[in-house]
Amino acid sequence: MYVADQTWPELREYVAEESVALVPLGSTEQHGPHLPLATDHLIAEALAREAADRTSVLCTPTVNVGVSPHHRQFHGTMWVDAPQFRDYVESLTRNLAYHGIDRVVYVNAHGGNAQHLREVGRRLRDDGTMYAIEWMWDESIPDLVSEVFEHNGPHGGPKETAMIQHVAGHLVREDQLEAARDGGLVDLDDSENYMMHGARTFYDAVENSGNGVFGDQTDATAEKGEQLFEAATEQLVKLVEWLDASRFEDLMAPAHLDPQPGSRR
């Protein structure tokens, strides 16, 4: 159920019985010459809406701009600084808690958001407000991604290309797939800047890829995207069902080991 499509009396019925919400998050950043800047937030919203439809839980509007300064050299990339992003997401999530939601899944499609969403989830659990966890679609189906693509690539590669071919095919520049592959980096092992003596020596995508993308984009198809989408949605549905069936008390932080601090005073 998409929250923005509902009336407030309809939502009153929901929060009286349910306590789970999905919050899709992505980015607005370069994804090479073949994919739109909207790639990440389009994927996140499509997955969250589909899982919400299948489980009848709440889905919020999408957070479209994330933590993306590592793509800043490319035209059009937008980002917010990490502290402001964390504070914004935390404030948004506390708003949901005010309305009775006590379990949230951050349906994330941008790697740059992940560690910050984990931090927000810890803040909210540590003060007993709610249980909020980050879910990254490709991390839910790693074996399938590896099976489907020989040269996957962590950004703008065939997995994201296939997903956009499936959910928003009209936005894919199909005539640019070879240019994306040839102007980027197919295999990270071929990069001279990725690792040196055990240290990551780069900060920005452009230091490893001239056009900002990785992997072999010509290996992507809408059919493969549909396969990934269905498998990831299934994993998200299972996560929601587990969360909905769990007792709130069991999701909160475990107590300090005995003896409890101050118990002997």
- State the distance between the two ends of the chain, measured CA to CA, in whole angstroms: 51
Q: Is residue 262 part of a domain?
A: no
Percent of the chain with pLDDT over 90: 84
Query: Whole-model pTM?
Result: 0.94
pLDDT at 265 over 70: no
Q: Is residue 193 part of a domain?
A: yes
Domain, as residue range, for 52: 3-249
How many structural domains is the chain composed of? 1
Q: Is residue 257 part of a domain?
A: no
Q: Is residue 265 part of a domain?
A: no
| pLDDT tens figures, 51-86 | 999 999 999 999 999 999 999 999 999 999 999 999
pLDDT band at 92 (very low <50, low <70, confident <90, very high): very high
Amino acid at 55: T
Helix (H), strand (E) at residue 132: strand 131-136
Phi, psi angles (nearest 5°) of residue 220: -90, 145
Q: Is residue 259 part of a domain?
A: no
User: Taken in order 185, 186, 190, 191, is the CA torsion positive or negative?
Assistant: positive
Provide mean pLDDT across the span 144-165: 95
Give, in order, the Cα–Cα distances in Å from 184 to each of 4, 167, 180. 39, 24, 6
CATH of the domain at 99: 3.40.50.10310
| pLDDT tens figures, 100-123 | 999 999 999 999 999 999 999 999
Q: Is residue 147 part of a domain?
A: yes
Q: Is residue 43 part of a domain?
A: yes
Amino acid at 29: E
| pLDDT tens figures, 4-47 | 999 998 888 788 777 999 999 999 999 999 999 999 999 999 99
